[in-house]
Homo-oligomer: A and B are copies of this chain.
Amino acid sequence: MTIMVGLEQKLKIAGHKLTPARLAVVEVLETQHDHLNHNQILDEGRKLYPKLSRATVYRTMDLLVELQLVRPLYLNDPTQRFVSAAGGHHHLVCCKCGETVEFEHCTADPLAQELAEKYGFQIFNHLLEFQGLCIKCH
Q: Which residues of A contact B (CB under 8 A)?
A: 65-66, 68, 71, 74, 78, 80, 85, 92, 94-95, 101, 103, 105-108, 110-112, 114-116, 118-135, 138
Contacts and interface: CB of A to CB of B under 8 A. Distances in A.
Contacts of A125: 130-132
Contact of A123 (B111, B116, B131): B131
Contacts of A135: 119-121
B121 A133 contact: yes
Contacts of A106: 111
A130 B123 contact: yes
A133 B128 contact: no
Contacts of A110: 107
A121 B130 contact: yes
Contacts of A133: 121-122, 124
